[in-house]
Structure 1
Amino acid sequence: MDTERGFLSREEYLGLSPHRCRLKAEAREKAYRYFESYQSTLDEKGWWDEEDRVSSAIQKLREQRDHEGMAKVHYHRIYVDEVQDMTQAEIYLLMLAAGENHNALFLAGDTAQSVSQGVDFRFEEVRAVVNKASGRIEKPVKLSRNFRSHEGILQVSNVVLDRLHKAFPKAATKLAKDTGLVQGPRPGLLRLSLEDVKLALGGNNRLRVLVRDESKARFQEELGDDARHMCMGIREAKGLEFRDVVILDFFKDVEDQSQHKEWKKLLLDSSKEDLSSVAATMELELKLFYTGITRSCDRLFFVETADSMGFDSWCRCLKGSQLA
């Protein structure tokens, strides 16, 4: 936000404390090389990306403020949900749009659902942005009462959260376990053909099929025109809710087949308090899975069209805990 070109130099990036950047030194070097290559392509072709647009908007609002004493764009109140997928620069842009009045901002989000690639959101970063604007901010209010999902679903989502906190303690704010207003049916674990899934969709207009976003186009094609609209990517569905949800082929469609062993380690070695040996890629996997699970209000089904070690481990985990 304070650099001339809107991004950190190599020295500034490599010098960030572990509190600001969780990547190790070797990974940071590699990440910055990729960034330099990417930025070089943008410069060469005269292209811009989302962060360039944010930086440009920040610069324009700052210029207006410096010339006129305050930004012309001045909203009295700004309410933002799903803030966990925003960068510091985007939050600072909101601050400027509110005339740098931090009391005009109401931000809500769940760091366990931070599923955007390249964003490592922490509410402490919001405090840093506000401090930069010479403001003071209240401590975040932590909410644990869930008005969407019942206990049958929340007990399962809490299993995923437990593994996330054990394997990646800094990945998400640790809160009290979610509790629902009522009890409800346990999720279903099913091994079905895609034809069976199509039949289920034909008789239930309130049901949605959630898949990995990279697989959405393929599933929509296979499900056909009548059911295409009922299939969504998990990232696409973030922030939405549906009465009934099928999470389809979450384990079958993993990009890296070695992750099946990581799922087994996570789900069946639950007695271990330290799961730090789990591969770093599993942090995003756990958050993605948690996000999909928590879209459901009433009925939840985990459906796979093929056997896998990951799905077998998930079934054993839930059945062993009498949660399915």
Structure 2
Amino acid sequence: MAGDVAQCIARGSSFRFQDLYALMYQRNIGRVQTDNNLYNPLKPKQFELNVNYRSHNGILRLASSVIQLIQHFFPDSIDKLSPEYGEIDGPQPLVFEGYQANTLFTTDISDKNMKKKDEDTYIEFGAKKRVVGNISDIGLVLTVFEAKGLEFNDVLLYDFFSDSPARSNWRVILSVLDDYSEGIRTFSHEKHYILSSELKHLYVAVTRARERLWIFDEDPEFSEPIRKYWKCKKLVKNE
């Protein structure tokens, strides 16, 4: 059985390999007690698949930073696994600041070249893109839940934080940064529990991209904490 526990975003669902391991072990213990032919309970074996063949390291490092937040605030909600890495490097995700929607969709987004890790050759990822008109004219418009399990060359994460039910609760993220932690409310599992689900949704959203990831919120108030977090870790570029 394989899976990514951070992508469990269906309402009311929760899954960890540690729980599955314990369940299978207890089941085998029960079989030993009722079957005289079984003497040693089988212990399930677990191994990690850490190489991501879909996305490049620019996107994977951003995704890993979201996992770190989940592990920091909600350590029992997912398994602790080694970070994923890709076989190639790539451009950092682009965060748009100071744009309105009507100006964003007439902005040029230039070609990005991808460099193979430890090699001098480059992998070209497509021609120049111009975002014009409205979103529905240039691609699919999907919710995060609808996009789960899919992958796309280019992903625009649009108004994720503005539409998030977490609202001002995102500010607690700044508590993990020494330069911004002063004056931030202390994390409370009960008060900030909505972030457990929202961070998983964010992780699913950013990992849909294979080549380019653009992030835009028309109202920057609620995205400010995560933008500062990513900037401090040097994981994004600003436009």
Query: What TM-score results when the alignment is normalised by the length of structure 2?
Result: 0.70
**TM alignment of 1:124-273, pairs within 5 A:** 124-127=18-21, 128=23, 132=27, 134=31, 136=42, 138-191=44-97, 192-199=99-106, 223=134, 226-227=137-138, 230-265=140-175
SS at 1:232 equivalent: coil
Larger of the two Rg values belongs to structure = 1
5+ residue gaps, structure 1, are 1-106, 208-221
2:9 to 115, 132, 139: 115
User: Partner amino acid for 1:286?
Assistant: L
Inter-CA distance 233–267: structure 2 relative to 1 (3 Å threshold):
farther
User: Partner amino acid for 1:195?
Assistant: N
Corresponding position: 1:303 with 2:210:
no
- CA distance in 2 between counterparts of 1:234 and 1:267 reads 27
User: Contact 1:114–1:287 at 8 Å: present in 2 too?
Assistant: yes
Aligned sequence identity (%): 28
User: Contact 2:174–2:180 at 8 Å: present in 1 too?
Assistant: no
- CA distance in 1 between counterparts of 2:166 and 2:197 reads 13
SS at 1:244 equivalent: strand
Higher helix proportion, which one? 1
Query: What TM-score results when the alignment is normalised by the length of structure 1?
Result: 0.53
Number of paired residues?
199
User: Partner amino acid for 2:235?
Assistant: L
5+ residue gaps, structure 2, are 32-40, 109-125
- CA distance in 2 between counterparts of 1:323 and 1:157 reads 10
Give CA-to-partner distance per residue, 1:23-78, whole Å, 9 cap, x none: xxxxxxxxxxxxxxxxxxxxxxxxxxxxxxxxxxxxxxxxxxxxxxxxxxxxxxxx
- CA distance in 2 between counterparts of 1:224 and 1:241 reads 17
Q: Over the residues paired in the alignment, what is the CA RMSD in angstroms?
A: 3.4
- CA distance in 2 between counterparts of 1:238 and 1:267 reads 30
- Please report how far the alpha carbon of residue 154 of structure 1 lies from its aligned counterpart in structure 2 after TM superposition: 1.2
What is aligned with 1:291? 204
Q: Which has the higher contact order (CA 8 A, sep 6+)?
A: 2
User: Contact 1:244–1:296 at 8 Å: present in 2 too?
Assistant: yes
Inter-CA distance 163–317: structure 2 relative to 1 (3 Å threshold):
same
Give CA-to-partner distance per residue, 1:126-176, whole Å, 9 cap, x none: 342685485956322211111111111111111111111111111111111
Give CA-to-partner distance per residue, 1:237-257, whole Å, 9 cap, x none: 111111111111111112243
- CA distance in 2 between counterparts of 1:181 and 1:136 reads 35
- Please report how far the alpha carbon of residue 116 of structure 1 lies from its aligned counterpart in structure 2 after TM superposition: 1.1
- CA distance in 1 between counterparts of 2:135 and 2:226 reads 29
